[in-house]
């Protein structure tokens, strides 16, 4: 079986995979990092979003072997020890989650969004940028609020 090596949340990892192993399977099954979720099979729900070399991507639509040498960040790699990332804190503070299943993908999408579009995000921009993330619980109201607040907090911290 082929092996793949990459850096996940700052740690080098190597594992045996099938050619058809997806990045999300490598994370969940090989590395047993189950924070990244799978909510669909057509690349639409965004529960599986992680960062590859800083870009938000759908780990269910990426071959593990394509990630050779890549730097991958997952939801487990966002907090600094016990200190939540400002976007994580904003989701909690604004009740931007209920069942929590879409939340890792939402947060990873939001963090990258701030990187691309800055700290002052209006409601329209946030709603449009969430095109690839589905939530069934919150009706998005508080997710939008959380992302706006998280973006501000990331700016204040920087």
Partner 1 sequence: MSVTGIGASVRRKEDVRFVTGKGRYTDDINRPGQAHAYFLRSPHAHATINNIDLSAALKMPGVVAVYTGDDIAADKVGGLICGWMIHSKDGSPMKAGAHPALAQGKVRYVGDHVAVVIADKLSQARDAAEKIVVDYGVLPAIVDPAMAVGADAKIHDAAPDNTVYNWHLGDKAATDAAFARAAHVTRLDLVNNRLSPNAMEPRAAVGDYDEGTDGLTLYTTSQNPHVARLVLSAFIGLAPEHKFRVIAPDVGGGFGSKIFIYAEETVCVWAARKVRRPVKWTSDRTEAFLSDAHGRDHVTHAELALDAYGKILGLRAHTTANLGAYLSTFSSSVPTYLYAPLLSGQYDIPAIYAEVDAVYTNTAPVDAYRGAGRPEATFVVERLVEIAARETGKDPAAFRRQNFVTSFPHQTPVIMCYDGGDYNASLTKALEIADYANIGKRKAEAASRGKLRGIGISAYIEACGIAPSAAVGSLGAGVGLWESAEVRVNPIGTVEILTGSHSHGQGHETTFAQLVSERLGVPIDNVAIIHGDTDKVQMGMGTYGSRSGAVGMSAIVKALDKIEAKAKKVAGHCLEASPDDIEFKDGKFTVKGTDKSIDFPSVALQAYIAHKFNGQELEPGLKESAFWDPTNFTFPAGVHICELEVDPQTGVTTIVKWTAVDDFGNLINPMIVEGQVHGGIAQGVGQALFEGAVYTKDGQLVTASFMDYQMPRADNLPSYNIAITKTPCPSNPLGIKGCGEAGAIAAPPAVINALTDALGHEDIAMPASPLAVWRAARKTMAMKKAAE
Partner 2 sequence: MYAFNYHKPATVAEAATLAGKHADGKLLAGGMTLLPTMKQRLASPSDIIDLSKLGDLRGIEVKDGVVTIKALTRHVTVANSAEVKKAIPALAELAGMIGDPAVRNRGTIGGSVANNDPAADYPAACLALGATIHTNKRSIPADDFFVGLFETALGEGEIITSISFPVPDKANYQKFRNPASRYAIVGVFVAKKGADVSVAVTGAGDSGVFRQKDFEAALKSNFSAAALDGKSQSAAGLNSDIHADAEYRAHLIGVMAKRAVAAAK
Q: Which residues bind partner 1 (CB under 8 A)?
A: 18, 20, 28-29, 32-42, 44-45, 47, 74-76, 78-79, 84, 88-89, 91-93, 95, 97-104, 107, 123, 126-128, 130-131, 133-144
Angle between helices 103-117 and 141-157 in degrees, nearest 10: 50
Q: What is the DSSP string of 52-68?
A: ETTEEEEGGGSBGGGGT
Answer yes or no: are the C-beta atoms of 96 and 143 closer than 8 Å.
yes
CB of 135 to partner 1, least distance (A): 7
Answer yes or no: are the C-beta atoms of 6 and 13 closer than 8 Å.
yes
CB of 109 to partner 2, least distance (A): 7
* Residues in contact with partner 2 by the rule CB under 8 A: 2, 18-20, 22, 41-44, 46, 49, 55-58, 60-63, 65-66, 68, 109, 112-113, 116, 129, 131-133
């Amino acid at each position: 079986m082929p092996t793949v090596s990459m850096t996940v949340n700052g740690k080098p990892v190597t594992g045996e995979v099938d050619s058809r192993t997806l990045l999300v399977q490598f994370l969940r099954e090989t590395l047993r990092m189950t924070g990244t979720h799978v909510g669909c099979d057509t690349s639409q729900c965004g529960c599986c979003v992680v960062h590859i070399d800083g870009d938000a991507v759908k780990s269910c639509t990426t071959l593990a072997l394509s990630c050779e040498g890549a730097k991958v960040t997952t939801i487990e790699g966002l907090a600094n020890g016990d200190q939540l990332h400002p976007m994580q804190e904003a989701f909690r503070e604004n009740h931007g989650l209920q069942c929590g299943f879409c939340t890792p993908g939402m947060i990873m999408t939001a963090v990258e969004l701030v990187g691309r579009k800055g700290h002052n995000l209006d409601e329209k921009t946030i709603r449009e940028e969430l095109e690839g993330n589905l939530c069934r619980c919150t009706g998005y109201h508080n997710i939008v609020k959380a992302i706006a607040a998280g973006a501000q907090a990331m700016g204040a911290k920087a």
